[in-house]
Every structure is written in C-alpha cells, then in structure tokens.
Amino acid sequence: MEGSAGPASGSLAAAAAAAAAARGSDRAVAGASKYLPNLPSRGLFSADFSSNMGGMRVYVCDHDTSPPEDQVIKTNTTNILIRALQLSKQRSELKDINAKAPAESSKGKRSAFRVYDGRNPAKRANTGSTSGISGHEGSSNGASEKALQSLTVERLRALLKERGLSLRGKKDELIARLKGQDV
C-alpha cells in the first residue's frame, strides 16, 4: 500500500505542503501575526475582503502598559446618562443665573422663579370677598373697567354668580355683563 499513492493521498500531501509554506510565510510577516502562531486552526480560511476596511492600522502594543504601583485610578460610578443629565441641568442653571441679571433690568417677560423682594406679588390670594369691586363704589367708568380687566375669569364668574347672572362667555363678555348690571 505504500507504493500505491492514490489521488486522495496526493491532494492531502499537497495541502499539508501548502499549509507548511503558509506557516513559514506567516512567520516572515511583521505585525500582529507574530503573536498568533500557535492558535488553534480550523483549516485554511481565505477572505475576499479585508477586515480592516477603514485603512486604519492595527496597533498591537508590545511593551508593558501597566500603571505605576503608586498610581490610583478613581472612576465615577454614576451612570453616564444620569451624569449627562446632571451636567445639562447645571449648565441650564448657570445660564438662567447669567440671563437673570440682565433680564431684571430690561423690560419684557419675568423669569420663572423670582426672589420675593417684599413687593406685592402679581397674583393675590383668593379670599372670597368682593373687596371693592361693586357697581356702587366706582367713581368713573374707566376705573371700574380697569379693575374688572385685572380680575381673573374665575373671579368675574364669582361676581356674576353673586348677582345671579349667566356665567358663560369670554372674559370681555363677562365684564360687559357686570358693567351692564352696574348701570
């Protein structure tokens, strides 16, 4: 049987010779392959494309990269999403504080949170009394118009309810109804 070499044994010998030649050429190639000679193999693989598509060179460090013994690395264990939200909140607060000073001097909209400085607040507490808004008290029609315009729709409806009038309609209609009854 030694003398009769069939076609199968010839192709096996050729494959073994090709593998040995490939191993020899692999050792000659510089780079990361010198670190990979004794890895398990599943046969001869070939690829039509390179796994290194971007043209970036693969870097394999061949020197010691361990930190010095006295070096202590502290990592932030907070979740990155939570950290990002906290940072954005801090930035917006700084932006609000920086924008607050010029906004106080200029006219326009008030900032959302304003420090109470002793002045009367814009909205007054609803005490349930009609404090000075009645048809008999106003000296001029223009003054009562302004007083009625300054009231909220809820307050106007409360006044209409006290007088037994219809509560439906827009603010201007409610004011007109109150003024019409005052005459």
The closest of 153, 114, 113, 148 to 132, measured between CA atoms, is 148
- Neighbouring C-alpha atoms within 13 Å toward the C-beta of 88: 6
pLDDT value for 100:
67
Query: Cα–Cα distance between 139 and 158 in angstroms, integer?
Result: 22
User: Could you list the mean pLDDT of each consecutive 10-residue stretch along the chain, which spans 183 residues?
Assistant: 48 59 52 73 63 69 86 86 92 82 57 54 56 46 75 89 88 86 65
pLDDT digits (tens, 9 = 90+) for 23-65: 555 444 556 777 777 776 666 666 555 566 666 777 778 888 8
Query: Cα–Cα distance between 44 and 22 in angstroms, integer?
Result: 9
Q: Are 136 and 128 in contact (CB under 8 A)?
A: no
Q: Look up the pTM and report it.
A: 0.25
The owner of tokens 């070499």 is 5
